[in-house]
Amino acid sequence: MSISRRALGAAALALPALPAAAQGPFPSRAVRIIVPYTPGGVSDITARLIAEPLSAAWGQPVPVENRAGADGVIGTEAVARSPADGYTLGLVSVGHPVNAAFYRLPFDTIRDFTFVTQTTATPLVLCAPRAFAPNTPAELVDHAKRNPGVTFAGTGGVVRLAPVLFAQRTGITLEYVPYRGSTQAHPDLIANRVNIMFDTVPAALPHIQSGALKALATTGARRSPQLPDVPTIAESLLPDFEAATWGMVIAPANLPPAVLTKLNADIRAALRNQTVVDRHKTLGAEIVSNTPDEMRSFVQAEMEKWGAAARAAGIRPQ
């Protein structure tokens, strides 16, 4: 997809101007969270869950605004163009660093943002139809070497690049079959018209539980609580392999240090709220919080990892 800078700029400029930050302790008015995706995803759910304890702690409204489009780029640019006063935040996903591998972006993924904290991590699951012979990652590698033409379903982002990284690390060839989303891919996967998929655990879990799909491995650093009997790729084949979707809170670049310190502390406290923790468990997401410096280093590492995988696969920013 080619993203029009003019269109993105117009969309961002259409945002209503916010008044200058009021004097006094932060925050002294509403703090909005822009979610650059459609409602109902993990990022959107996380934003709405933490908004309640944040509003209670601050005594201010914390509205959540969905500003979807262009794989999250439109809403993310809106955050970058907002005043650096702490009153506009974004809650983005792993797509933030991954998008740099696919698109010529109207912002710099690192320099144009302040990284507040990570919120969640959700592993992927390597799944396949019951009729597909391999039952483990090692068997998949052996099968692919003996039977060229193994296909994988991809929907973009890390779901697209995780099998690319797996193939590069194991020396096999996998053929990409694109889909707009998991819902569109699952019927073909179940029918064995496409062989494997690295999908999010929440999306694939109902089909795994029903027996329509089987789980070969998960991709987190630890086993998924939803699939405790399924080993990770790291423990079964590739010791340092890890691929996950995750969320983080961002703000415009050059956020005042005192505001950043308060946002980091208060958002991490909201993430420890038991309601927030329990709801994310049902989604297969683990709560993760860290410091701004840790978050920045993590984003840079993710950019390098997925960018290298994309380049090796011949993917260039469009």
Tell the CATH superfamily of the 5-12+30-121+245-312 domain: Bordetella uptake gene, domain 1 (3.40.190.150)
Calculated CA dihedral for residues 205, 275, 159, 207, nearest 10 degrees = 10
Is the model's pLDDT at 67 over the cut of 90? yes
User: At residue 207, what is the residue type?
Assistant: H
Identify the residue whose tokens are 């200058």.
20
Mean pLDDT score across all residues of the chain: 92
Is the model's pLDDT at 218 over the cut of 90? yes
**φ, ψ for residue 284, nearest 5 deg:** 75, 20
Identify the residue whose tokens are 């889909």.
179
What pTM was computed for the model?
0.86
CATH topology match: 5-12+30-121+245-312 vs 123-236:
yes
Q: What pLDDT, in 10s, does the model give residues 131-146?
A: 999 999 999 999 999 9
Q: What pLDDT, in 10s, does the model give residues 100-113?
A: 999 999 999 999 99
Instruction: Return the CATH number of the domain spanning residue range 123-236.
Output: 3.40.190.10
Domain ranges of the chain: 5-12+30-121+245-312, 123-236
Give the number of other CB atoms < 10 A from CB of residue 24. Answer: 8
- Please give the residue that has the higher pLDDT: either 60 or 281: 60
What's residue 23's pLDDT?
52
What average pLDDT does the segment 298-311 reach? 95
Q: Is there a cis peptide before residue 27, judged by omega within 30 degrees of 0? A: yes
Nearest alpha-carbon partner for 167 in 233, 119, 213 = 233
Beta bridge partners of 117: 249
